[in-house]
Amino acid sequence: MPVAEPVEWGAGDVPHSPRFGDIYHSCSGALAQARHVFLGGCGLPGAWAGQAQWRILETGFGLGLNFLAAWHAWRQDPARARLLHFVSVEAYPVAGADVRRAAALHPELGALGEALAAQWHGLLPGVHRLAFDEGRVLLTLGIGEARQMLRALAPFEADSIFLDGFSPAVNPDMWAPELLKTVARFARRGTRLATWSIARPLRDALVPLGFSAHKAPGLPPKRDCLQARFDPAWTPRRAPPPPEQAAQPGTCLVVGAGLAGAAVAASLARRGWQVTVLEAAADPAAGASALPVGLMAPHWSPDDALMSRLSRAGIRVGWQPLQDWLVPGRDWQPGGALERRDDTQRMPDGWQADGPNESWYATASRLHEAGLAPQTPALWHARAAWVRPARLIAAWLSRPGVQLRTGMRVSRLVRCGGSWQALDQNGTVLAQAERVVIAAGIDSRALAPGLPLNAVRGQVLTGPCPGGEDGAALPSHPINGDGHLIPGVPDEAAHTRFWLAGSTYGRGEDTRDIREEDTVANLARIARLHGGAGTLAADAHAGGQTQAWAGVRCTSRDRRPLVGPLDPLDPAAAQGPWICSALGSRGLSFAALCGELLAARWSGEPMPLAHALAAALDTRRLS
């Protein structure tokens, strides 16, 4: 199976599909056609003026030209919607180089095409979220057969629909009545649909689905195009909006300024919510997120289990804020990680050495670089990084619309009229807002006693990275396996670098005292991960140069985060307190995804991951 769908670039740089024997775009003025047929056909950009969000659904992502045209129009429009969602499906993703090449043919799209190509990686079958312009332009890509992918998406109401398969003669699936029926499920009354095809069977299929369709003038050399509007004579059967969906962004309290609370606050604020974060400590990142540096690496399993897919979705969503706001080499370091494990005989179905999966067997040169023997069983995760959690939290908390109030320990949440009040232990009102989210890590137990949250104590060890030849004793990249080792993290104040290794797991324990036996266990762990580092760490410890740090993780029974209403059994409680916690040992991988998920649920938006995966994080799975 080829890694990427081949594209043939013909005379005049016209992209052609050998699979379908058709061209991706018309021979002349591809961008002008996209603007005329699709944007213009749906009344854009005018239609999105002043809206909180605009949601475009497309069939056939191809080279992404319609997406880039929509994004470009959105950027140019001072009256643009606050958030632009573009959801598209594609069975045969092309190479990033072809995406770049198609965009580069249009000078105004060049930079946008580069940005799209930069996120064009890891596109395994399934739903992927790409984010641009600091998360205000969200592209949700369903990689797979169109109808199957549309069914995998969580339901949402599309404001515009672009139908863009190849010609019906060569690509009938993309115009089949069953597919159009699935597409129509996303339409609300007034949704406009546009396409270049004026085929009679298409028009005939749209009408019984509730669309009134008419031919419209095309852009020469095309004579016509098709425009339609969803306006059925009957009341379409639709699930009622979920009770948590807010008519418009309002005010929200978030309890806890760790990774979870900061991520939720930033996601809500980007959608126009006014968010107050209440933190018990004097500074944010006071709980488990005070971890000096952590590893963000995907979970891997031979059968690509749920946790593996969730962790990749989380890392994809979490990667963007890191790239947008943090300084590489100082606050975080992308560049991959090696995972030592013995059960790598079988790879998940469909994975190949050259992707699109971003994890594969570590090559001999990777092992050599890491200072490991050539036969060491290990994986290489290209999409992995170390991150200093406090830096990410600070970036999220500094987003417009987020207000941090420290020294505010919330003891109780009470309903008062249409608002929630956060009270301290004396019953004094600390703050109030329409909504409230508990993101207090393991201390969420006090505010959410009904939820099964478990404490898992953990201790890590840090020590100085030696310079000169001794420095080579450490691997160049993080290594994980039974624990993890992160080398070369800068300590700016001391102008030195440190390594961190860990961690211990004390199930059911919620104390943060430093224990020598945990340090001994961590030293043994380092030695198992990497011989050279083991010796170096033991020497540093003997010389009194190491330091330990301990924190308490919060986990759920199935080790997946919990995002949703506090009382999953009571539908009426959907506007009551929500929780975002139980990030377990993967706060860096999950925080951004959980924040986006919560915010998407409150706004009825397309989800950043497939419906089934989103449900796997919802508190309602407990009911």
**Which chain residues interact with ligand FAD by CB under 6 A?**
255-261, 278-281, 286-289, 291, 294-296, 389, 408-410, 439-441, 443, 458-460, 502-503, 551, 553-554, 581, 583-589
Q: What amino acid occupies position 449?
A: P
Structure tokens at 133: 């312009």
* Cβ closest to ligand FAD, residue 99 vs residue 260: 260
As beta bridge partners, residue 61 has none
Distance from C-alpha of 477 to C-alpha of 335, rounded to nearest angstrom:
8
Torsion of CA 536, 537, 538, 541, to 10 degrees: 120
Give me the least distance between CB of 106 and ligand SAM, in Å please.
Answer: 12
Of 36, 40, 56, 66, the residue at the interface with ligand SAM (CB under 6 A) is: 66
91 binds ligand SAM (CB under 6 A): yes
Structure tokens at 589: 């991988």
224 binds ligand SAM (CB under 6 A): no
Distance from C-alpha of 32 to C-alpha of 453, rounded to nearest angstrom:
55
DSSP 153-191: SPP--EEEEEE--S-TTT-GGGG-HHHHHHHHTTEEEEE
Where in 166-185 is the site for ligand SAM (CB under 6 A)?
166, 171, 173-174
103 binds ligand SAM (CB under 6 A): no
90 binds ligand SAM (CB under 6 A): yes
Of 103, 105, 146, 580, the residue at the interface with ligand SAM (CB under 6 A) is: 146
Distance from C-alpha of 564 to C-alpha of 549, rounded to nearest angstrom:
31
Give the HSE-up count for residue 567: Cα atoms under 13 Å, Cβ half-sphere. Answer: 8
Helix (H) or strand (E) holding 140, with range, is strand 137-143
91 binds, among ligand SAM, ligand FAD, none (CB under 5 to 8 A by kind): ligand SAM
Give the HSE-up count for residue 531: Cα atoms under 13 Å, Cβ half-sphere. Answer: 5
Give me the least distance between CB of 186 and ligand FAD, in Å please.
Answer: 34
As beta bridge partners, residue 433 has 420
* Cβ closest to ligand SAM, residue 91 vs residue 456: 91
126 binds ligand SAM (CB under 6 A): no
Distance from C-alpha of 456 to C-alpha of 557, rounded to nearest angstrom:
12
295 binds, among ligand FAD, ligand SAM, none (CB under 5 to 8 A by kind): ligand FAD
* Cβ closest to ligand FAD, residue 161 vs residue 260: 260
Give me the least distance between CB of 508 and ligand FAD, in Å please.
Answer: 14
Give me the least distance between CB of 390 and ligand FAD, in Å please.
Answer: 10
92 binds ligand SAM (CB under 6 A): yes
Give me the least distance between CB of 508 and ligand SAM, in Å please.
Answer: 48
533 binds ligand SAM (CB under 6 A): no
Distance from C-alpha of 85 to C-alpha of 57, rounded to nearest angstrom:
8
Q: Which residue has the tokens 């011989």?
A: 531
Torsion of CA 357, 360, 364, 368, to 10 degrees: 90
62 binds, among ligand SAM, ligand FAD, none (CB under 5 to 8 A by kind): ligand SAM
Of 41, 45, 64, 294, the residue at the interface with ligand SAM (CB under 6 A) is: 64
409 binds, among ligand SAM, ligand FAD, none (CB under 5 to 8 A by kind): ligand FAD
113 binds ligand SAM (CB under 6 A): no
* Cβ closest to ligand SAM, residue 25 vs residue 270: 25
146 binds, among ligand SAM, ligand FAD, none (CB under 5 to 8 A by kind): ligand SAM
Peptide bond into 284 cis (omega under 30): no
CB crowding 335-351: b at 16 or more within 10 Å, else e: ebbbbbeeebeebbeeb
Give me the least distance between CB of 139 and ligand FAD, in Å please.
Answer: 25
CA-angle at 453, arms to 566 and 568, nearest 5°: 25
163 binds ligand SAM (CB under 6 A): no
* Helix pair 65-76, 96-104: axis angle to 10 deg: 50
Distance from C-alpha of 230 to C-alpha of 50, rounded to nearest angstrom:
22
Give me the least distance between CB of 598 and ligand FAD, in Å please.
Answer: 13
Taking CB atoms, the residue at the shortest distance from ligand SAM is 62
66 binds, among ligand FAD, ligand SAM, none (CB under 5 to 8 A by kind): ligand SAM
40 binds ligand SAM (CB under 6 A): no
Instruction: Tell me if 391 sits within 8 A of 291, measured CB to CB.
Output: no
* Cβ closest to ligand FAD, residue 147 vs residue 340: 340
Distance from C-alpha of 34 to C-alpha of 540, rounded to nearest angstrom:
62
* Cβ closest to ligand FAD, residue 17 vs residue 589: 589
Cα separations in angstroms, 569 against 114, 415, 502, 599: 46, 19, 38, 21
* Cβ closest to ligand FAD, residue 165 vs residue 551: 551
Cα separations in angstroms, 266 against 54, 110, 259, 287: 20, 29, 11, 19
Which positions touch ligand SAM (CB under 6 A)?
24, 60-66, 89-92, 145-146, 164-166, 171, 173-174
